[in-house]
Structure 1
Amino acid sequence: MTTAISTSEIIYPSSDGEPIAETYDHVYAIFATLQILKQYLQGRRATVLANQFLYYVQGFPKLRVAPDVMVIYDVEPGGRDNYKIWEEKQVPKVIFEFTSKGTQEEDKTTKNNLYEGLEVEEYWLFDPKGEWITQQLQGYRLRGDIYEPITDSCSQALQLRLAVEGKLIGFYRLDNGEKLLVNDELIAALKQETNKRIEAETQAEQERQRAAELEALLSRYREQFGDLP
């Protein structure tokens, strides 16, 4: 006699013990993308998750995938141990896979077909080492129920233009062209801005000192020779 298992008793693991990525380049690219997009979407009803299980069929915990980075709109912000589509009521809007020669077939076939079937609006493949994607970056967008290549490197879902910058993806706003900065770049930009302000304040102080010295000189002149003609 078999006993039916309640769906509430089914365990959906949050980890499989596998490494997050094959190489340092892939790990760095994943976390840089995660950080950039989290900051970009801050204050909006959205979340960005990296290397976490996406469960897409209730009651079947083996039917899962762990996208390198996924962006989901219209859900509560913040992290999750895993993501269950039937609980959140939203499919990821954009998924990034940081591909390599070793994951090539899975990324361009198995995952492509899965994300297409789940109706993920955009699917981006980035090859940090340029092992099999010549231009390193290739995106796909749903047209009807089929993925078509994105030819302009623009994510309509994110409203960002994507650019290959060495082993990272650069992100630029479509509305004003502004680049979204990674943490190191943010620090560098902050230092640059701080230095500019210090230089401006120093120059203003020097000008105040010169004006004060000139006023003191004129005052001494008046004391000796009277007012200027």
Structure 2
Amino acid sequence: MSQLQLTPKSQVIYPDSDGKPMADNTKQFRWIVVIQQNLEWLFADNPTVFVAGDLLWYPVEGEPGICAAPDTLVVFGRPKGDRGSYKQWEEDGIPPQVVFEIRSPGNSQTELNKKQVFYNRYGVEEYYLYDPDNNDLSGWVRSGDNLDVIDPIANWISPRLQIRFDLSGEELQLFRPDNQPFLSYVEIARHLEQTEQQLEQERQRADQERQRADQAEQRAANLAERLRALGIDPEQI
């Protein structure tokens, strides 16, 4: 009579890649990077918020077949740092609270439905799905044991992230809690360049003001010297 052979948990392999590309096109990739990097920036000063993009998440120990790789995930209560994958049992059992998916033409509705079921089953609190080709945003927020549809989602503010979703333009715009928009790397670089130029202009204006003040002070000193030479006390004028 044969016995069932069980693989010890220590020998279970959890791949760091699912073999799928991060994005199907440049637009999807741009949105993944913008969301992930801006969230990383938003929580840069909080050591217990972990943000990652296209990282495999394994919610169940010993079950490497149960996994998902959200385009962006955010975990509150876990330290920053590099990981090959997110093994939930090694992270105090904390699942990602917020996940983002950017839809591409290669995503079937069945695939997206499976992802929603997965996120609902394994404890995600907020799930956002954006279709950049149609400027369509869907969202779900946890209520009890289930993810409920966010309706309306225009100007919705994430309970966890405190970011705002604006659909009034030609494409989705995300705003930080201080109402500053999410920016691409190029926009950030341009903003920094403009800021540096403005600071340089301010420094030049300040230098010019100091030079004018020094010149005026020197003229006043020369005048006072001439008055004293004529026997006139400038303090009495």
Work out whether residues 70 and 95 of structure 1, in 8 Å CA contact, stay in contact via their aligned partners in 2.
yes
TM-score norm. by structure 1 comes to 0.85
The residue number in structure 2 matching 1:199 is 201
How far the C-alpha of 1:109 sits from its partner, in A, is 1.6
TM-score norm. by structure 2 comes to 0.82
Work out whether residues 123 and 141 of structure 1, in 8 Å CA contact, stay in contact via their aligned partners in 2.
yes
Letter aligned with residue 122 of structure 2: L
Q: Give structure 1 stretches of 5+ with no counterpart.
A: none
Work out whether residues 128 and 166 of structure 1, in 8 Å CA contact, stay in contact via their aligned partners in 2.
no
The residue number in structure 2 matching 1:17 is 19
The reply on whether 1:110 has 2:80 as its aligned counterpart is no
How far the C-alpha of 1:223 sits from its partner, in A, is 5.0
State the secondary structure of the residue aligned to 1:72.
strand
The reply on whether 1:52 has 2:55 as its aligned counterpart is yes
How far the C-alpha of 1:127 sits from its partner, in A, is 1.1
Q: What number of residue pairs does the alignment pair up?
A: 223
The residue number in structure 2 matching 1:149 is 149
Letter aligned with residue 141 of structure 2: R
> Root-mean-square deviation (CA), in Å?
2.4
The residue number in structure 2 matching 1:35 is 37
Q: Using the alignment, how far apart are the partners of 2:202 and 2:116 within structure 1?
A: 53
How far the C-alpha of 1:193 sits from its partner, in A, is 2.5
1:140-178: per-residue Cα shift (whole Å, max 9, x none)? Answer: 1111223222224211111111235766652321xx323
Work out whether residues 51 and 69 of structure 1, in 8 Å CA contact, stay in contact via their aligned partners in 2.
yes
State the secondary structure of the residue aligned to 2:191.
helix
Letter aligned with residue 214 of structure 2: A
Q: Give structure 2 stretches of 5+ with no counterpart.
A: none
Distance change in 2, residues 1:211/1:75 (3 Å): closer
How far the C-alpha of 1:6 sits from its partner, in A, is 0.7
Q: Which has the larger radius of gyration?
A: 2
The residue number in structure 1 matching 2:176 is 172
Identity over the aligned pairs, expressed in percent? 30
1:76 aligned to which of 74, 79, 102: 79
How far the C-alpha of 1:23 sits from its partner, in A, is 0.4
